[in-house]
A and B are shown apart, each in its own frame.
Chain A
């Protein structure tokens, strides 16, 4: 990593650590926690979308399976750790099964099958009144006490979320630079060639599908801890689409893109909506403008614009010095 990159990373880490002090207001600290949770959702879907070229419209399904499983296990009397592990394991196993079904078809077929699977999870949550409380939803008894820490107040819950988020981010960063991640990108661009080089394209995609499901399940458990409540509305098609939009808005080809996208969409949804009634229109407008001027998303678009600006300044300076030399 370059020195500039390290400085930027240290700066980001400091800002993330200082968030509760900087904003102070509990409402906004909670907002920051939400941003992190959605960023994790967006990062997980981006493992498929950005690196694998697989568009999924059923990602909220993992929030549903992990979330309900966590609540039900806790209500049934299991301790928080067992409940969380059970929830994540169950939801990841569902991802393994969904992956087998979805990957039968490429492209549009894949999107439609993930959409259908997500809707099935939603439908079950909606109909299974006895288990999920149906439309009314179901409450999670209380936030857990990881290693004896109390995370009931906003700042400590923020730090808890931050720790999980940073661990996930680190894993996903390594993933994107690993032999496996690079093979996944190869399979996205030239699947036929990758097979001819000895790569098992189907298995690469399936493993990615399961990994994405795993991190989405982790985010799902965090979601339940944050809201202490889950209803079918939280796992609707709109939720899946929003997660997908976050990754696309920020830029699916970068690691930072989904995080930026998640921050923008979550903030517009929660903060701007208190001032502007038509916040949905605003969100749509932002999306259209970004895609029009930065078709690859905000982060790649801004990086490109920044580079162009710097080059112009540099060449401008060079031209200036050449002119002054000539004058002498």
Chain B
């Protein structure tokens, strides 16, 4: 049996008295495209934060390709092949685009500890960063300052930074949020082009894109998994309708 790419088991997290994640168990196969949906406040982003280690869980376990992540600091999880994008853009706004991607590449490069060599002399790093930007259609904008680019370009930069690390598991937190129709198409094409050795778990509200993209869907509601299954199963399930449309 192949190891699961992501195995979340009985994960729980409370904020004070408020349970944000209640006994959540999710299994994602390698290469799978998984969609997580649910109304606002369902605990989707919290779940991501628990997987990445931004938040520490109260109970349960998270395994990445069989390796237990609980208790491990975020950066170590990243070194095991975990990457994510943020719903709220988290970039270095005063820096050039290429610099943002270089910081991403440095995160997995031993040279990040070098306090003597001039960074810009590492031509291979910059070439790789430019190639990563090229892949998301930002090759031309590589030398622009992030603050001077459009929102859509920044969304693609987020994606380029995550993909540059060649992750095994990629968590996408609303990659289409706030984008125009044209930009959505672009991102959709980019997502489709990601090779199958990258497993993807995505939170998204844009149902057209999300449903077309995902193979399996998990519905969260008040921190609990209420429905899980294939596209058709979830869409047909009355509980899904209940959550989204009310009784």
Contact = CB atoms under 8 A, between A and B. Distances in A.
Given A192-B90, A198-B75, A179 B122 contact: yes
Given A179-B114, A196-B54, 7 more contacts: A174-B117, A181-B115, A182-B103, A186-B103, A194-B103, A199-B112, A200-B73
Given A179-B106, A182-B103, A196 B115 contact: no
5 contacts: A179-B119, A179-B122, A186-B92, A196-B52, A198-B75
B119 A190 contact: no
A287 to B, nearest CB: 26
Given A186-B92, A192-B54, A198 B79 contact: yes
Contacts, number: 93
B31 interface: no
A174 B118 contact: yes
- Please tell me the size bucket of the interface on B: 35 or more
B114 A178 contact: yes
B74 interface: yes
A174 B108 CA distance: 22
B5 to A, nearest CB: 18
B120 interface: yes
Contacts of B91: 190, 193
Nearest to A211: B115
A257 to B, nearest CB: 17
A177 interface: yes
Contact of A178 (B84, B90, B117): B117
Contacts of A196: 52, 54, 74-75, 78, 83-84, 90
A174 B115 contact: yes
Interface string A32-66: 00000000000000000000000000000000000
A199 B75 contact: yes
A177 B118 contact: yes
A200 B75 CA distance: 6
A180 interface: yes
Given A190-B90, A199-B75, A174 B116 contact: yes
A199 B73 contact: no
Given A174-B118, A183-B106, A197 B73 contact: no
Interface string B35-77: 0000000000000000011100000000000000000011100
Contacts of B15: none
A202 B54 CA distance: 14
Given A186-B103, A194-B107, A199-B107, A177 B75 contact: no
Interface in B89-129: 90-92, 99, 102-104, 106-109, 111-120, 122
A317 interface: no
A198 B78 contact: yes
Given A189-B92, A199-B75, A200-B75, A183 B103 contact: yes
Given A195-B73, A197-B103, A179 B165 contact: no
A279 interface: no
